[in-house]
Amino acid sequence: MKVGMPVVIIGTIMFVIGLVFFYSIELGQTDPGLRFIKNMGTFIGLSGMGVVLAGILLHLLNRSEPPIKENYDF
């Protein structure tokens, strides 16, 4: 299996986990533990977006190009 697609899947999972962490905590919490979870959700979500982009680029770079057919008949 090529490397790009598993990286895209892992990045998507990271992004979804970041969304859950970020939006499960209400805005304006004063508890440091809950604020830490909200901040980690932001970090994990943004990191997940970067991992998805890296996976897409790896997938595009590792595609095999079709062989060049040269026609020498004139």
pLDDT reported for residue 40: 94
* Domain assignment present for 71: no
For residue 1, name the pLDDT band (cuts at 50, 70, 90). Answer: low
* Domain assignment present for 30: yes
**Mean pLDDT, all residues of the chain:** 89
* Domain assignment present for 15: yes
Supply the pTM of this predicted model. 0.78
* Domain assignment present for 23: yes
Residue identified by tokens 């980690």 is 40
Is pLDDT at 35 greater than 80 in this prediction?
yes
* Domain assignment present for 54: yes
* Domain assignment present for 66: no
| Counted domains in the chain | 1
Residue 68: Cβ-neighbour burial (10 angstroms; 0-12, 13-18, 19+): exposed
pLDDT reported for residue 30: 83
Question: Which residues constitute the domain of residue 41?
Answer: 4-61
